Structure 1
């Protein structure tokens, strides 16, 4: 019979030949003739009387089927050590007893001593199940109803494509930095496979990775940032045994900011010769931008939008979602307060995700002229369409008044730039070009940063200040002139 001190014993499954009753601990084969235990018969067990349940019922911690007496003693000692963690607190003692009692029923080992100590230290209910990484990430994302749609889609993509497939089955508090680093190793191996298949001479091998893309270093950093954000919330939860955010200790190569590169004549010639695009982000020279806008005049439903982006650096979603109510041509100003975000093919209208993104930009006379001409054309089209006109209130619309889909605008941009014979840039590259042009023209970096919606002037200056070679050349000549003792060359705005 168990006492408060507990006991160990040996038993077997033999039955009395006459009555059929289990012999248990009374089986004569459990011991040798000399009185010692028979190692080839029966199994060891231990039992310990646990604190009563919350409704006053008696219960025991009991585990059978152990191979040695040592295992039984160690198990009994662990039960005692676990209960000792309560330090006399009856509520915690009952919680620990509940945890001990459910372990055999669920075919689990006894709770880990250090883990229970840690959970008591954080004020967590030791009986609660620690979620898996997958369960926690789902709970974490569901618990953020105010996320911007684009941010939510980004988090969900990282979770569903990478974090859950690689880490989801691990218990949250057992996740280690090496597990996350192993995930990135697997991703990089997949990248290598994709690139090797693309370079293969075998068409079937090439086809095997069609539609797959290599994961960039910047994307890996964003995946880690999503995990870090989720684990930060887990560490703050008192009911989870988390004290360290392991994502902060995951090693990744540094990810330098990608700076735009301009399509200089030499780079254009190389591209024409073999299709080489020298940088991840390319921008046009002022002359190339003018060529594009001249060609874009043929497309009356798009020209004013492209002119505005090229001159003032609006983001695609900001231009597509711009309402006339926020456009004050008499004042020469536009209030950026809304944007259209593309999620897969669906679109959502929302506010810019940062405070800096909500801003007022000042228009130049050429842009005001282009927008007024467009406004007249749009009103004429509205009168002709009559009841078929969709009154969206947007500045830039299709021929029935409906808004543009962001992807359609990008597609038209690429078509027009190809038709103009220009080297390739993305529509966002037109925004990069506007920033570079403004700085090259001598506009104060703070003004440029504010109108672009950047959070800091450092980002603006570091990214765009030296894009155009002519600007760098002028600075070099100014320095050389000082060394020669001559006059400093006067810097004039770029045309």
Structure 2
């Protein structure tokens, strides 16, 4: 089965690079099965066969899923440092599959979005500051936003199946969480709620009751793919180096985590904010890109040794 998955992935990649437009169209919006998905498939198979063995539905065999080795390496995020941005401007080269903006680039994006896409700016702001996933932001329930206490509860998301959307719980138990936010974010969300109230008043009976906090100007839910398209449009028009928004294991989510760690926030707090099941994932994925933390650690060690050498002299 895994050999077939790998073969199909190779076929998709070949078709996407084909000079034949019809062949490329045949795999439009089709992606190869990545390492993380293969890990989840293997885990599901291993659990199913173990259950079958425990219930004696099958006997006298070794679980074959335990013998399968699948690629496990996740690409680590790379920061858009000035040298990389200059090379991208010259060559169009993107250094890796997951890129992260610096604080300065993130500020440029938010300023541009506030001016040129006010309908989605509040959603982008919340994602940038507090790091909910794309589907979690789109599925945020209005009743779970408590502006007075500066807190939201993440217990719903909008998932995409093909082009169809449906609401469902977060991807894991840790995904159900309370997220606190700052006074600036509270002001942005308060202004958005007032703007939405005016739109609802203008729409009258045609306004649908979705129960969602972030909705389109006509009151309907945001399709996560449309949010990504609008995000990429803002990025392109602002002249910023590209990052991905999709399912926010990516990008603004990476930026939010990276900036929080750089600000000295405890990694357990950041992990809880992002809905990770363990701090190991947070540490492995994000802390490796925060060079300022390593510089500060190096400076602290050097300063301590310097002070002791001074005492000895």
TM range (shorter): 0.7 to 0.9
Alpha-carbon distance between aligned partners in 2 of 1:371 and 1:246, rounded to the nearest angstrom:
51
Is it true that 1:462 corresponds to 2:284 in the alignment?
yes
Q: Residue 289 of structure 2 aligns to a residue in which SS? A: coil
Aligned match of 1:283 in 88, 100, 106? 100
Aligned match of 2:91 in 229, 250, 274? 274
Matched with 2:273 is 451
Alpha-carbon distance between aligned partners in 2 of 1:486 and 1:375, rounded to the nearest angstrom:
57
Aligned match of 1:378 in 196, 207, 211? 196
Aligned match of 2:184 in 366, 375, 393? 366
Is it true that 1:240 corresponds to 2:62 in the alignment?
no
Aligned runs of 1:394-473 on 2, under 5 Å?
A: 394-427=212-245, 428=248, 429-473=251-295
Deviation string, structure 1 residues 271-324 (Cα, Å, up to 9, x no partner): 222222212211111111111110111322111010000000011111111122
Following superposition, the deviation at residue 197 of structure 1 comes to 6.7
Q: Residue 288 of structure 2 aligns to a residue in which SS? A: coil
Alpha-carbon distance between aligned partners in 2 of 1:354 and 1:451, rounded to the nearest angstrom:
13
Alpha-carbon distance between aligned partners in 1 of 2:290 and 2:22, rounded to the nearest angstrom:
40
Larger radius of gyration: 1
Deviation string, structure 1 residues 124-163 (Cα, Å, up to 9, x no partner): xxxxxxxxxxxxxxxxxxxxxxxxxxxxxxxxxxxxxxx4
Q: CA RMSD in A?
A: 2.4
- Would you tell me which structure has more helix in proportion to its own residues? 2
Check the 8 A contact 1:234/1:242 in 2, yes or no. Answer: no
Check the 8 A contact 2:35/2:74 in 1, yes or no. Answer: no
Check the 8 A contact 2:78/2:289 in 1, yes or no. Answer: yes
Check the 8 A contact 1:301/1:396 in 2, yes or no. Answer: no
Aligned runs of 1:4-43 on 2, under 5 Å?
A: none
In structure 1, the gaps of 5 or more residues are 1-162, 164-182, 488-495
Is it true that 1:296 corresponds to 2:110 in the alignment?
no
Deviates more, 1:336-345 or 1:434-443: 336-345
Alpha-carbon distance between aligned partners in 1 of 2:128 and 2:167, rounded to the nearest angstrom:
23
Following superposition, the deviation at residue 214 of structure 1 comes to 4.2
Following superposition, the deviation at residue 360 of structure 1 comes to 0.7
Alpha-carbon distance between aligned partners in 1 of 2:7 and 2:138, rounded to the nearest angstrom:
39
Check the 8 A contact 1:285/1:468 in 2, yes or no. Answer: no
The two structures have a TM-score, normalised by structure 2, of 0.87
Distance verdict in 2 for CA 1:354–1:329, change over 3 Å:
same
Is it true that 1:250 corresponds to 2:68 in the alignment?
yes
Alpha-carbon distance between aligned partners in 2 of 1:402 and 1:325, rounded to the nearest angstrom:
16
Check the 8 A contact 2:261/2:290 in 1, yes or no. Answer: no
Alpha-carbon distance between aligned partners in 1 of 2:220 and 2:11, rounded to the nearest angstrom:
44
Deviation string, structure 1 residues 427-486 (Cα, Å, up to 9, x no partner): 121011111111110111111111111111222122212323333333333333334338
Following superposition, the deviation at residue 195 of structure 1 comes to 5.1
Distance verdict in 2 for CA 1:196–1:321, change over 3 Å:
closer
Distance verdict in 2 for CA 1:187–1:341, change over 3 Å:
closer
Alpha-carbon distance between aligned partners in 2 of 1:405 and 1:190, rounded to the nearest angstrom:
28
Matched with 1:225 is 43
